Amino acid sequence: MPDSQRRVHNRLAVLRAERGLSRKQLADKLGINYQTIGYIERGDYNPSLELALTIAELFRLPIEAIFSLKPMTPLSEEIFREPPPEPR
C-alpha cells in the first residue's frame, strides 16, 4: 500500500472470529488468497470496492459496519450504547 494512501479501518477480524472462520475459510469463500485477508485486517491493504461489497454481502452487513475511514469503535459499545435522549 503506498504511504500516501488513506487507511481504511475495518472489523474483519472481529466478524471472522464471531463466525468462527479461519482466514483460509473466509478467503476461499471470497476467492482470494488467505494472506490478503491478513493484510486487510492489519490495514496494510485496502480492498477494492468490489471486494469490500462482496465481504459485506457475505457477512450480511452494510458496508459501513465493516469498513470505515475513521477508527472503529468496538461492536459491543455500538450495540449497547444508550440512545440519545428524545427531545421533548
Partner 1 sequence: MNTTTTSRIDYLPRSRRRALVVVALAGYPVAVAALAALKHTSLNRWLILALFLLLLLPTLATLLVGYRYARGRIDGRRARLDERDLALRQQAYALSHHVLTAILIAATAITEIYLTSGNTLQFDANSFWLVAMWVIVYLPALPSLMLAWIETDQPADA
In the complex, the residues that contact partner 1 under the rule CB under 8 A are 1-2, 13, 22-23, 31-33, 35-36, 38-39, 41-42, 44-45, 47-48, 51
In sequence order, which residues have a C-beta less than 8 Å from that of residue 86 and are 6 or more positions away? none
Residue 9: closest CA among 73, 68, 65, 62:
68
**39 or 56, CB closer to partner 1?**
39
> Closest approach of Cβ 63 to partner 1, in Å?
17
Cα distances (angstroms) measured from residue 12 to each of 15, 43, 80, 82, 83: 5, 10, 20, 25, 26
- As measured in angstroms, the least distance from the Cβ of 44 to partner 1 is 5
By beta-carbon proximity to partner 1, the closer residue of 17 and 61 is: 17
